[in-house]
Structure 1
Amino acid sequence: MRPSRPAFAVALVSAAALALAACSTPDGDAGSPSADAAADCTPEGLQTLTEGTLTVGASDPFEPWYIGEPTSGEGFESALVYAVADELGFAKDDVEWTSVTFEQIVSPAVKPFDLAAYQTTITEERRSAVDFSSPYLTSRQGVIVADEGKFSGAKDLADLEGAKIGVTASQTSLDAAEEAWGDAVEVTPFNAAGDGMTALSSGTIDAMVMDVDQGVAASTVYFPDTHVVGTLPPVGEPEQLGLVLDKGSALTECVSQAVDTLDENGTLEELRAQWLKSDDIPELS
């Protein structure tokens, strides 16, 4: 059963916290491992919480990241975790999932997981508290409008001038919207992206700006009376997502190597095409 709109709104309270100001790709604590380190990237050589088991943290599952429970292997991040596990030599049955809050994922406290997969943006501030793998996705900000609304046929930024635009308060979507339109639109902040999508469906706002991959799922699964018209021009450094590990984790280099391998052999591209379905969405100019 697909989650209801209220469930989506609750899930996006956590998701909205992820779209903080973008920063650069991780370096020293998430680089490619040395040849010696690579030789230890096996279940026997990895220092996991439970010997022979890879424990993965995630929070409330919602599309397109998780379809059903994380154990399903369906959804971008569920499939990604199992692909990373496979690169490290873990069978699917050797992956154990644990439910955690987003605060647990990014806090400096000792982690109840070996790695976490929950749309976590790589930032310098967070890297002072946790390790990140190599990035597995570069995000963009999408513009969602109502199918029957005044701006349903928008094809460029100018077409949306005069619109009331919803954003998630104090997040990347706010900066991107202000950079794209300046004073030509009325920006309305919401505490959570789900609240903004509800306002869009009711006609309270004309468009909603949010992560484009989440926007595609929102418009096709949770709010089918809406659609994504395009993405905003990027602001600052690219916003990238990474797997989260405990600060100084002995697994970081091996997990980064696995992500790098999946990038190099085309697996990440295949997973994006299968689960995110946002590659063909144009950038508004």
Structure 2
Amino acid sequence: MIRRPFASALPGVVALAFAVTACAPKDEDSNASASKSPASCTKDKMPLKSAGKLTVATDKPAFEPWFKDDDPSNGQGFESAVAYAVAGRLGFAKDQVVWKVQSFESSFAPGPKTFDFDINQISVTPAREKAVAFSDGYYDVQQGIVALDGGRYAKATTVAELKKARIAVQVGTTALQAVRKQIGPEEQPKIFNTQIDAVNALKNKQVDVLVVDLPTAFYVTAAQIEGSKIVGQLPPSQGGGTEHFGLLMERGSGLAGCLNQAIGQLKSSGELARIQQRWLTSSAGAPILK
């Protein structure tokens, strides 16, 4: 996924390319050196950039709902909360986490890194794995439903209510697959070659709703269509999302095993789900449709 600004989009932001493509099978050798767990995941044994400190990177500005008030260190927002939850599982107190700025594009460029991991809505792709290493996924991208305020479907609470809607979607995306499999609309979805064409169709009231991945939905409502809202998000599809975000490390990082262990614990305990519910469902105004 291409990261986009959301709630605080700057004037003159040019429409971005939004196509979401399913991840192909991983190159078995691409992350081989990063997949092995170190002998110990205690702070004094982990290969850290700074002894006793966990250095975490993200972009600036850091946008909602991923971060709050452009301050990754406050623990608020989905990715800030995830970073501190991972740190806690690794034995780091909040004041032992050091944040630094790293632009989205440069984060997955080849070469050494000055951070232990980067958290910045970075999708795991085979191409990126040739240059950097990723942890297991901490967020499977779901599909969001966008409508105009006051529109017929603006207050929909169930997937069934969308069956009669005129739906805009981009060709070749996971959103199109989700519309067909999860909504099954009575009228065939209106398929557009580009995301901006689909966005304009909703803006011009040629359709009732727009279906895009949830990160894009936040951007559409914040920066592209005034008077629009996220109606909700489709329930997770069986088997999880086809696109997921991972913690990014330099290629060959010895931290991968420890990060995967921490993420696994957060998933099995239900803590990761609670963080997602708080920051990407409740406060972000994107309830899961029934």
Normalised by the length of structure 1, the TM-score is 0.74
Secondary structure at 1:144's aligned position in 2?
strand
Deviation, structure 1 residue 63: 1.9
Are residue 21 (structure 1) and residue 25 (structure 2) matched?
Answer: no
Deviation, structure 1 residue 78: 0.1
Whole-Å Cα distance in 1 between the matches of residues 10 and 238 of structure 2?
Answer: 30
Identify if the C-alpha distance between structure 1 residues 235 and 83 changes in structure 2 by more than 3 Å, giving closer, same or farther.
closer
Whole-Å Cα distance in 2 between the matches of residues 234 and 200 of structure 1?
Answer: 25
Query: Which digits, 9 at most, give the CA deviation of each residue in 1:172-211, with x for residues without a partner?
Result: 435545776698222235567xx96687456465322222
Deviation, structure 1 residue 91: 2.2
Identify if the C-alpha distance between structure 1 residues 93 and 153 changes in structure 2 by more than 3 Å, giving closer, same or farther.
closer
Q: Larger % of helix: which?
A: 1
Normalised by the length of structure 2, the TM-score is 0.73
Letter of the 1:231 partner, please give it.
L
Are residue 158 (structure 1) and residue 169 (structure 2) matched?
Answer: no
Of 247, 251, 261, which residue of structure 2 is paired with 1:257?
261
Secondary structure at 1:184's aligned position in 2?
coil
Partner of 1:266: 270
Letter of the 1:21 partner, please give it.
A
Partner of 1:210: 212
What count of residue pairs does the alignment treat as equivalent?
270
Higher deviation after alignment, 176-185 or 145-154: 176-185
Partner of 1:61: 62
Whole-Å Cα distance in 1 between the matches of residues 15 and 43 of structure 2?
Answer: 34
**After superposition, where does 1:13-52 map in structure 2 within 5 Å?**
13=16, 16=18, 19-22=20-23, 33=37, 37=38, 39=40, 41-52=41-52
Query: Conserved in 1, the CA contact under 8 Å of 2:163 and 2:186?
Result: no
Whole-Å Cα distance in 2 between the matches of residues 282 and 89 of structure 1?
Answer: 37
Identify if the C-alpha distance between structure 1 residues 32 and 54 changes in structure 2 by more than 3 Å, giving closer, same or farther.
same
Letter of the 2:229 partner, please give it.
T
Letter of the 2:249 partner, please give it.
L
Query: Which digits, 9 at most, give the CA deviation of each residue in 1:36-87, with x for residues without a partner?
Result: x352x12221222222222212124222211121111101110110111122
Are residue 282 (structure 1) and residue 285 (structure 2) matched?
Answer: no
CA RMSD of aligned residues (A): 4.0
**After superposition, where does 1:242-253 map in structure 2 within 5 Å?**
242-253=246-257
Identify if the C-alpha distance between structure 1 residues 112 and 166 changes in structure 2 by more than 3 Å, giving closer, same or farther.
farther
Whole-Å Cα distance in 1 between the matches of residues 209 and 57 of structure 2?
Answer: 33
Identical amino acids, percent of aligned pairs: 30
Letter of the 1:158 partner, please give it.
K
Where structure 2 has 5 or more consecutive residues not aligned to the other structure, the ranges are: 1-5
